[in-house]
Structures are given as C-alpha cells and as structure tokens.
Amino acid sequence: MPHLFNLDESTSRRLAADMNEQGYAVLENALAPYVLEELRAYVDDQAARHNNQYFAYHGNAPLVGSRLAATAVSSEFRQHLARLHEQGQGHAAPSDQVFPVLRCVQGHSGLKESNAFHFDATLLTMLVPIFIPDQGKDRGDLVLFPNLRRVRGSVLFNAVEKVVYQNPLCRRLMGWCIERGWLKPLLLRMKPGNVYFFWGYRSLHANQPCDPAHRRATALFHYGDPHAGSLTTRMILRLNQHRARRAVARSKSQAS
C-alpha cells in the first residue's frame, strides 16, 4: 500500500518557507480522489464502531491495516518529512519516528474536544483533513497562534509551559477572549484533498467547535521530537493516549 502523496524538493522548500514566514503551508490537491475516498471509507467504518461519537487513535497499533499506518512506516514518507524539517529548521531532526493520529469529532461528545489549545510534542505537524463540514457556522476550523515560541532547550521548561497553556482554565479563558475578539488567532478553513503543515511544537493550536450533526475527521502525522528519548516526553505521550481512551470511553457511555 503506497503512502499518501509525493513531495519533490522544490515544493518541500516552498512549504518550509511558508511555515516559517506565515506560520503554515498548504499542499493543494495533494491527495488523489481515490485516496481520499479510501480514507473516508475507513473513517466511516471506525465511526460506526464508536456509535458516531468522538474517537481518537494514537500511534500505529490502532491504525494497523490502514493507509495511515502504512504511510507512517513508509521510508519514502519519512524522507519527505526529514527533508522538510531540515529545510525549515536548518538541521536534521533528533528522531525520525513518525507518530500518526486519527481524530474524529462528531456528536455531542465532540464538543468537549473543541478549543483544547496545546503545543505538540514534535516540531513538525502534517494535517490531512478527511471530513470537514462545508455548511453551517461550526465547522471545526483550525485555530492557530503560529510560531508562538522557540524550541526549548530544557525538556522540563517545555513541560511546565505546556501545563500552563494547556490547563482547562487557560483554555476556557482563551476561547472566551477569542469569541470577544480580544485575541485574534489565525483561522484555517481546511479543504479535504489538501494537506496542511505547521510547526506544531512552536504553535499553540486547537479546533473550533464542530456542529454535532456533522463530522470532522483529520489525520495527523507528527515528526521531529526535539526532546526525543526523554522521560518527560514519554510521560506526556502516555498521558495523551490515556486522555484519548478516556474521551472515547466517555463518548460510548453517553451514547449507550
């Protein structure tokens, strides 16, 4: 099973420059129509297993057999991300591991997963929209404060900073300020078929609320952990996986 798309050197250089200059980059019409349809069929199947409520898969294990898992372990895909990282940051990534995530925001349980502002653990984030509502006010748009911080030299300082920004009180306050126009983040209305890139470690980001009657499904590929191998990073990863399982369990209990 091939990976999602090909990326030549000149296009990669343009994407890296866009991320540095405007905070994000777009590869338009990156996915062939049959690839997008395959991803949508996979999401449809998984959504039915979760009673059409919120779910998230973290890592390769729950995605085994899908094109997403095949992409994450593809050597050619890793080379694409490695080149993009080096072009944008001026050095190779400390780790070449790719960490895939599938998030599906749907139903009333999905509302609790909106405006969950966070910094990613890895520097480079690639986002693949699979289902995005094309009508209504609440489309689950990506909210981005791009390149808000630098890579931290201390893994402990990084962890403390994440705790400060990612606690529920701070998240509610930020959402409240955005609603009133006091904070003006970048809003990205994503289009399925396109692929989006940003420096997830450096950029505070979240998705806006999504109408419970519609589905917002995105695949994410995380690459380039600046603190690769640290105990703190492993603990953060386990915490994220635990939160995802808890959110899925909560969704199932609400649907039953």
* Ranges of each domain in the chain: 9-255
Task: Give the pLDDT score at 31.
Answer: 96
For residue 74, pLDDT beyond 70: yes
What average pLDDT does range 85-96 have in this prediction?
Answer: 94
Q: Which of 11-20, 201-210, 228-237, 247-256 is the least confident region?
A: 247-256
**How far are the Cα atoms of 67, 96, 101, 115 from residue 72, in angstroms, in the given order?**
9, 11, 10, 27
- What is the mean pLDDT of the segment spanning 14-18? 98
In the prediction, which pLDDT does 231 show? 62
Q: What pTM value is reported for the model?
A: 0.90
d(CA 50, CA 54): 7
Q: Residue 52 has what pLDDT? A: 87
pLDDT band at residue 222 under the 50/70/90 scheme: very high
User: Is the pLDDT assigned to residue 73 strictly greater than 70?
Assistant: yes
The one-character DSSP state at 108 is G
Is the pLDDT assigned to residue 109 strictly greater than 80? Answer: no
Q: Which CATH superfamily is domain 9-255 in?
A: q2cbj1_9rhob like domain (2.60.120.620)
pLDDT at 1 over 60: no
pLDDT value of position 132: 95
66 pLDDT more than 90: yes
- Give 23-50 pLDDT, tens digit per residue: 999 999 999 999 999 999 999 999 999 9
Assess contact for 1 and 68: CB atoms under 8 A.
no
**Is residue 211 within 8 Å of residue 134, measured between CB atoms?**
no
Are the CB atoms for 232 and 138 separated by under 8 Å? no
